[in-house]
A and B are shown apart, each in its own frame.
Chain A
Amino acid sequence: MEQSPRQRWLAVLARSSTDDLKAAFVALAPEPDYSLLRPPETGLVMVRGRAGGDGARFNLGEMTVSRCAIRLPDGTVGHGYVAGRDQQKAELVAVFDALLQDPAGGPGLLETLIQPLARRLAQRREAEQARTDATRVDFFTLVRGD
Protein backbone atom coordinates (compact mmCIF):
# COMPACT_ATOMS: atom_id res chain seq x y z
CA MET A 1 0.00 0.00 0.00
CA GLU A 2 1.41 3.36 -1.08
CA GLN A 3 2.24 5.75 1.71
CA SER A 4 0.90 9.26 1.13
CA PRO A 5 3.19 12.23 1.80
CA ARG A 6 1.21 13.09 4.88
CA GLN A 7 1.43 9.58 6.22
CA ARG A 8 5.15 9.67 5.66
CA TRP A 9 5.76 12.93 7.48
CA LEU A 10 3.52 11.90 10.39
CA ALA A 11 5.49 8.66 10.68
CA VAL A 12 8.82 10.50 10.65
CA LEU A 13 7.62 13.03 13.22
CA ALA A 14 6.18 10.36 15.51
CA ARG A 15 9.41 8.37 15.49
CA SER A 16 11.74 11.31 16.01
CA SER A 17 12.97 12.34 19.42
CA THR A 18 11.20 15.03 21.41
CA ASP A 19 14.47 16.99 21.65
CA ASP A 20 14.80 17.12 17.86
CA LEU A 21 11.19 18.32 17.57
CA LYS A 22 11.63 20.93 20.27
CA ALA A 23 14.76 22.27 18.59
CA ALA A 24 12.96 22.43 15.27
CA PHE A 25 10.03 24.25 16.88
CA VAL A 26 12.31 26.88 18.37
CA ALA A 27 14.06 27.21 15.01
CA LEU A 28 10.75 28.15 13.41
CA ALA A 29 11.05 31.64 14.91
CA PRO A 30 8.72 33.38 15.17
CA GLU A 31 6.73 30.75 17.05
CA PRO A 32 3.62 29.76 15.09
CA ASP A 33 0.29 30.86 16.51
CA TYR A 34 -2.09 27.98 17.19
CA SER A 35 -4.92 26.89 19.46
CA LEU A 36 -5.66 23.51 21.01
CA LEU A 37 -8.55 21.74 19.34
CA ARG A 38 -8.16 18.63 21.40
CA PRO A 39 -5.76 19.07 24.33
CA PRO A 40 -3.04 16.40 24.58
CA GLU A 41 -4.34 13.22 26.09
CA THR A 42 -2.92 9.79 26.73
CA GLY A 43 -4.84 6.60 26.24
CA LEU A 44 -4.67 3.02 25.07
CA VAL A 45 -4.97 1.73 21.53
CA MET A 46 -5.61 -1.90 20.66
CA VAL A 47 -2.97 -2.98 18.17
CA ARG A 48 -4.23 -5.58 15.76
CA GLY A 49 -2.32 -7.99 13.61
CA ARG A 50 -3.11 -10.58 11.00
CA ALA A 51 -2.37 -14.23 11.50
CA GLY A 52 -2.88 -17.52 9.84
CA GLY A 53 -3.04 -18.31 6.17
CA ASP A 54 -6.21 -16.32 5.72
CA GLY A 55 -4.87 -13.25 7.55
CA ALA A 56 -7.56 -13.25 10.21
CA ARG A 57 -7.34 -10.27 12.56
CA PHE A 58 -6.41 -10.72 16.14
CA ASN A 59 -5.69 -8.37 19.03
CA LEU A 60 -1.94 -8.16 19.50
CA GLY A 61 -2.09 -6.04 22.63
CA GLU A 62 -2.75 -2.60 23.99
CA MET A 63 -0.35 0.24 23.36
CA THR A 64 -0.04 3.58 25.13
CA VAL A 65 -0.61 6.44 22.71
CA SER A 66 -0.70 10.18 23.26
CA ARG A 67 -2.59 12.38 20.84
CA CYS A 68 -3.33 16.02 20.26
CA ALA A 69 -5.11 18.15 17.69
CA ILE A 70 -4.36 21.81 17.08
CA ARG A 71 -5.76 24.46 14.80
CA LEU A 72 -3.90 27.25 13.00
CA PRO A 73 -5.50 30.68 12.69
CA ASP A 74 -6.39 29.93 9.06
CA GLY A 75 -8.38 26.90 10.17
CA THR A 76 -5.96 24.14 9.23
CA VAL A 77 -6.14 21.23 11.64
CA GLY A 78 -3.03 19.27 12.60
CA HIS A 79 -3.03 15.90 14.34
CA GLY A 80 -0.31 14.25 16.39
CA TYR A 81 -0.30 10.61 17.46
CA VAL A 82 2.79 9.29 19.22
CA ALA A 83 3.64 6.15 21.13
CA GLY A 84 4.07 6.60 24.85
CA ARG A 85 3.06 9.26 27.33
CA ASP A 86 4.90 12.28 25.98
CA GLN A 87 2.04 14.75 25.56
CA GLN A 88 4.34 17.61 24.63
CA LYS A 89 5.63 15.50 21.75
CA ALA A 90 2.09 14.83 20.56
CA GLU A 91 1.42 18.56 20.57
CA LEU A 92 4.62 19.32 18.63
CA VAL A 93 3.79 16.68 16.01
CA ALA A 94 0.32 18.18 15.63
CA VAL A 95 1.76 21.67 15.10
CA PHE A 96 4.18 20.45 12.43
CA ASP A 97 1.44 18.40 10.78
CA ALA A 98 -0.63 21.55 10.38
CA LEU A 99 2.29 23.62 9.10
CA LEU A 100 3.23 20.94 6.58
CA GLN A 101 -0.27 21.02 5.11
CA ASP A 102 0.18 24.64 4.07
CA PRO A 103 0.67 24.68 0.30
CA ALA A 104 2.90 27.75 0.63
CA GLY A 105 5.25 26.88 3.48
CA GLY A 106 4.80 23.10 3.55
CA PRO A 107 7.22 21.96 0.85
CA GLY A 108 9.99 24.10 2.32
CA LEU A 109 9.40 22.68 5.77
CA LEU A 110 9.44 19.20 4.26
CA GLU A 111 12.97 19.86 3.05
CA THR A 112 14.34 21.55 6.13
CA LEU A 113 12.60 19.44 8.78
CA ILE A 114 11.32 16.08 7.57
CA GLN A 115 14.17 15.07 5.28
CA PRO A 116 16.89 15.51 7.94
CA LEU A 117 14.72 13.74 10.53
CA ALA A 118 14.08 10.89 8.12
CA ARG A 119 17.80 10.58 7.41
CA ARG A 120 18.55 10.50 11.12
CA LEU A 121 15.98 7.76 11.65
CA ALA A 122 17.42 5.75 8.77
CA GLN A 123 20.93 6.11 10.18
CA ARG A 124 19.76 5.00 13.59
CA ARG A 125 18.03 2.00 12.05
CA GLU A 126 21.15 1.05 10.08
CA ALA A 127 23.36 1.34 13.15
CA GLU A 128 20.95 -0.85 15.09
CA GLN A 129 20.88 -3.34 12.26
CA ALA A 130 24.69 -3.46 12.13
CA ARG A 131 24.89 -4.05 15.88
CA THR A 132 22.33 -6.82 15.60
CA ASP A 133 24.10 -8.42 12.64
CA ALA A 134 27.31 -8.60 14.65
CA THR A 135 25.60 -10.98 17.05
CA ARG A 136 24.42 -13.33 14.33
CA VAL A 137 25.39 -16.96 14.85
CA ASP A 138 25.20 -19.39 11.97
CA PHE A 139 23.98 -22.75 13.06
CA PHE A 140 24.58 -25.76 10.92
CA THR A 141 23.04 -29.11 11.44
CA LEU A 142 25.12 -32.23 11.61
CA VAL A 143 23.55 -34.77 9.35
CA ARG A 144 23.68 -38.17 10.95
CA GLY A 145 24.75 -41.15 8.99
CA ASP A 146 21.70 -43.24 9.59
Chain B
Amino acid sequence: MQRRLHAVQPGLPDPALDAQRIFRRVLEAMARPGRIVTVDGVDTVAPLYPASVGVALTLLDHETPLYLDDAARTAAAKQHLRFHCGCPLVDDPDRAMFAILADAGALLPLERFSLGSDEYPDHGATVIVQVTGLVGGEGLRLRGPGIDGEARLGIHGVPDNLPLALTANHARFPRGVDLLFCCGAELAALPRSTTVEE
Protein backbone atom coordinates (compact mmCIF):
# COMPACT_ATOMS: atom_id res chain seq x y z
CA MET B 1 0.00 0.00 0.00
CA GLN B 2 1.45 3.32 -0.99
CA ARG B 3 0.71 6.31 1.21
CA ARG B 4 0.75 9.37 -0.99
CA LEU B 5 2.17 12.50 0.66
CA HIS B 6 0.03 14.82 -1.42
CA ALA B 7 -0.27 17.63 1.01
CA VAL B 8 3.29 18.03 2.28
CA GLN B 9 4.62 21.54 1.86
CA PRO B 10 8.30 22.34 1.53
CA GLY B 11 10.20 23.04 4.74
CA LEU B 12 12.84 25.71 5.25
CA PRO B 13 14.17 26.85 1.85
CA ASP B 14 17.79 26.70 3.06
CA PRO B 15 17.66 24.34 6.03
CA ALA B 16 21.05 25.14 7.52
CA LEU B 17 21.04 28.92 7.22
CA ASP B 18 17.33 29.39 7.88
CA ALA B 19 17.45 27.19 10.98
CA GLN B 20 20.38 29.20 12.30
CA ARG B 21 18.60 32.45 11.63
CA ILE B 22 15.42 31.32 13.38
CA PHE B 23 17.43 29.87 16.27
CA ARG B 24 19.01 33.28 16.83
CA ARG B 25 15.54 34.83 16.96
CA VAL B 26 14.33 32.30 19.52
CA LEU B 27 17.50 32.85 21.50
CA GLU B 28 16.93 36.58 21.50
CA ALA B 29 13.32 36.17 22.60
CA MET B 30 14.35 33.84 25.43
CA ALA B 31 17.30 35.95 26.51
CA ARG B 32 15.29 39.18 26.59
CA PRO B 33 11.84 38.19 27.81
CA GLY B 34 9.18 40.60 26.64
CA ARG B 35 10.90 41.32 23.36
CA ILE B 36 8.81 40.42 20.31
CA VAL B 37 10.83 38.98 17.42
CA THR B 38 9.83 38.06 13.87
CA VAL B 39 10.23 34.68 12.25
CA ASP B 40 10.12 35.37 8.52
CA GLY B 41 10.44 33.28 5.40
CA VAL B 42 8.17 30.51 6.69
CA ASP B 43 4.69 29.64 5.45
CA THR B 44 1.60 28.74 7.42
CA VAL B 45 0.80 25.06 7.79
CA ALA B 46 -2.80 25.17 8.95
CA PRO B 47 -3.51 25.64 11.75
CA LEU B 48 0.09 26.42 12.68
CA TYR B 49 1.31 29.99 12.35
CA PRO B 50 4.53 30.75 10.45
CA ALA B 51 6.28 31.44 13.77
CA SER B 52 5.20 28.08 15.20
CA VAL B 53 6.26 26.24 12.06
CA GLY B 54 9.59 28.05 11.96
CA VAL B 55 10.35 27.22 15.59
CA ALA B 56 9.36 23.59 15.04
CA LEU B 57 11.51 23.16 11.93
CA THR B 58 14.43 24.69 13.80
CA LEU B 59 14.27 23.00 17.20
CA LEU B 60 12.56 19.65 16.66
CA ASP B 61 14.23 16.44 15.54
CA HIS B 62 13.93 12.70 16.07
CA GLU B 63 15.06 13.06 19.68
CA THR B 64 12.44 15.59 20.77
CA PRO B 65 9.02 14.08 21.48
CA LEU B 66 6.25 16.51 20.59
CA TYR B 67 2.75 16.91 22.00
CA LEU B 68 0.07 18.54 19.85
CA ASP B 69 -3.21 19.71 21.34
CA ASP B 70 -6.46 18.73 19.64
CA ALA B 71 -6.59 21.94 17.61
CA ALA B 72 -3.03 21.50 16.32
CA ARG B 73 -3.37 17.83 15.58
CA THR B 74 -4.51 18.20 11.98
CA ALA B 75 -3.40 15.77 9.28
CA ALA B 76 -1.48 18.51 7.49
CA ALA B 77 0.38 19.62 10.61
CA LYS B 78 1.26 16.09 11.70
CA GLN B 79 2.47 15.16 8.24
CA HIS B 80 4.55 18.31 7.92
CA LEU B 81 6.23 17.83 11.29
CA ARG B 82 6.81 14.12 10.77
CA PHE B 83 8.29 14.65 7.31
CA HIS B 84 10.54 17.63 8.00
CA CYS B 85 11.38 17.23 11.68
CA GLY B 86 11.11 13.49 12.14
CA CYS B 87 9.95 14.13 15.68
CA PRO B 88 7.98 11.47 17.57
CA LEU B 89 4.42 12.54 18.33
CA VAL B 90 3.21 11.63 21.79
CA ASP B 91 -0.28 11.70 23.27
CA ASP B 92 0.84 12.24 26.84
CA PRO B 93 1.98 15.83 27.47
CA ASP B 94 4.15 14.67 30.33
CA ARG B 95 6.33 12.67 27.95
CA ALA B 96 6.88 15.55 25.55
CA MET B 97 9.92 17.79 25.35
CA PHE B 98 8.01 20.27 23.21
CA ALA B 99 4.35 21.06 22.85
CA ILE B 100 2.48 23.03 20.22
CA LEU B 101 -0.91 24.34 21.29
CA ALA B 102 -3.00 25.90 18.55
CA ASP B 103 -5.67 26.73 21.12
CA ALA B 104 -4.33 28.88 23.95
CA GLY B 105 -7.28 27.75 26.06
CA ALA B 106 -5.51 24.39 26.32
CA LEU B 107 -2.46 25.96 27.97
CA LEU B 108 -3.47 25.42 31.60
CA PRO B 109 -2.75 23.61 33.81
CA LEU B 110 0.97 23.89 33.13
CA GLU B 111 1.64 21.02 35.53
CA ARG B 112 0.54 18.44 32.98
CA PHE B 113 3.65 19.19 30.95
CA SER B 114 7.04 17.84 31.89
CA LEU B 115 8.49 20.08 34.58
CA GLY B 116 11.91 18.51 34.61
CA SER B 117 13.70 17.42 37.76
CA ASP B 118 16.21 19.01 40.06
CA GLU B 119 18.95 16.95 38.43
CA TYR B 120 17.69 17.64 34.90
CA PRO B 121 15.73 20.87 34.90
CA ASP B 122 16.33 21.09 31.17
CA HIS B 123 13.86 18.25 30.73
CA GLY B 124 11.13 20.77 31.45
CA ALA B 125 9.03 21.19 28.33
CA THR B 126 9.13 24.12 25.95
CA VAL B 127 5.51 24.97 25.21
CA ILE B 128 4.76 26.76 21.95
CA VAL B 129 1.34 28.36 22.28
CA GLN B 130 -0.51 30.24 19.56
CA VAL B 131 -2.20 33.44 20.64
CA THR B 132 -4.29 36.10 18.97
CA GLY B 133 -2.06 39.07 19.71
CA LEU B 134 1.33 40.13 21.05
CA VAL B 135 1.74 43.76 22.09
CA GLY B 136 4.76 45.40 23.64
CA GLY B 137 4.55 48.12 26.24
CA GLU B 138 1.31 46.99 27.86
CA GLY B 139 -0.11 44.01 29.70
CA LEU B 140 1.95 41.76 31.94
CA ARG B 141 4.79 43.25 33.98
CA LEU B 142 7.96 41.20 33.59
CA ARG B 143 11.07 41.29 35.73
CA GLY B 144 14.10 39.11 36.00
CA PRO B 145 17.15 37.87 34.07
CA GLY B 146 17.52 39.54 30.70
CA ILE B 147 15.16 42.39 31.58
CA ASP B 148 16.46 45.84 32.35
CA GLY B 149 14.20 46.83 35.20
CA GLU B 150 10.76 46.00 33.94
CA ALA B 151 9.35 44.95 30.58
CA ARG B 152 5.74 44.78 29.54
CA LEU B 153 4.16 42.23 27.24
CA GLY B 154 0.51 42.04 26.30
CA ILE B 155 -0.62 38.56 25.31
CA HIS B 156 -4.11 38.28 23.86
CA GLY B 157 -6.20 35.16 23.74
CA VAL B 158 -4.81 33.37 26.80
CA PRO B 159 -6.68 32.21 29.91
CA ASP B 160 -7.30 34.93 32.53
CA ASN B 161 -5.46 33.08 35.26
CA LEU B 162 -2.27 32.78 33.21
CA PRO B 163 -0.31 35.22 35.46
CA LEU B 164 -1.15 33.04 38.45
CA ALA B 165 0.01 29.93 36.62
CA LEU B 166 3.21 31.65 35.52
CA THR B 167 3.94 32.71 39.10
CA ALA B 168 3.52 29.12 40.26
CA ASN B 169 5.76 28.01 37.41
CA HIS B 170 8.43 30.52 38.39
CA ALA B 171 8.25 29.35 42.00
CA ARG B 172 9.36 25.90 40.83
CA PHE B 173 12.60 27.25 39.42
CA PRO B 174 14.89 25.57 38.28
CA ARG B 175 12.13 23.16 37.35
CA GLY B 176 9.18 24.31 35.26
CA VAL B 177 8.24 24.97 31.66
CA ASP B 178 9.30 27.67 29.23
CA LEU B 179 6.72 29.33 27.02
CA LEU B 180 7.01 30.56 23.45
CA PHE B 181 4.03 32.66 22.35
CA CYS B 182 3.38 32.77 18.61
CA CYS B 183 1.10 35.10 16.72
CA GLY B 184 1.42 35.03 12.94
CA ALA B 185 5.10 35.51 12.28
CA GLU B 186 5.77 37.06 15.69
CA LEU B 187 7.27 35.36 18.69
CA ALA B 188 7.78 36.25 22.34
CA ALA B 189 9.17 34.07 25.11
CA LEU B 190 8.55 33.71 28.83
CA PRO B 191 11.24 31.48 30.28
CA ARG B 192 10.70 30.08 33.76
CA SER B 193 13.23 32.53 35.16
CA THR B 194 10.94 35.50 34.57
CA THR B 195 8.75 36.99 37.29
CA VAL B 196 5.30 37.87 36.02
CA GLU B 197 2.79 40.29 37.48
CA GLU B 198 -0.40 41.68 36.07
Contact = CB atoms under 8 A, between A and B. Distances in A.
Contacts of B6: 75-77
B15 A77 contact: no
A33 B6 CA distance: 16
A39 interface: yes
A38 B2 contact: no
Nearest to A36: B10
A101 B14 CA distance: 27
Interface residues of B, number: 13
Contact size range, A: 10 to 19
Interface in A89-137: 101
Nearest to A76: B4
A101 B4 CA distance: 10
B4 A38 contact: no
Contacts of B8: 37, 71, 77
Contacts, number: 27
Nearest to A70: B10
Interface in A10-40: 35-39
Contact of A39 (B4, B7, B15, B83): B15
A6 interface: yes
A76 B5 CA distance: 7
A77 B13 CA distance: 17
Given A35-B10, A36-B10, A77 B5 contact: yes
Contacts of B15: 39, 41
Contacts of A76: 4, 6
Nearest to A79: B5
B73 interface: no
Interface string B1-38: 01011111011011100000000000000000000000
A86 to B, nearest CB: 18
A77 B14 CA distance: 19
B84 A38 contact: yes
Most buried by A among B6, B10, B11, B83: B10
A115 B77 CA distance: 39
Given A38-B84, A41-B15, A101 B2 contact: yes
A71 B7 CA distance: 10
Contacts of A77: 4-6, 8
Interface in A28-74: 35-39, 41, 71
A75 B84 contact: no
Contacts of B7: 75
B64 to A, nearest CB: 18
Given A36-B10, A76-B6, 15 more contacts: A6-B2, A35-B10, A37-B8, A37-B10, A37-B11, A37-B83, A38-B10, A38-B84, A39-B15, A71-B10, A75-B6, A75-B7, A77-B5, A77-B6, A77-B8
Interface of B: 2, 4-8, 10-11, 13-15, 83-84
7 contacts: A37-B8, A37-B10, A37-B83, A38-B84, A39-B13, A41-B15, A77-B5
Interface of A: 6, 35-39, 41, 71, 75-77, 101
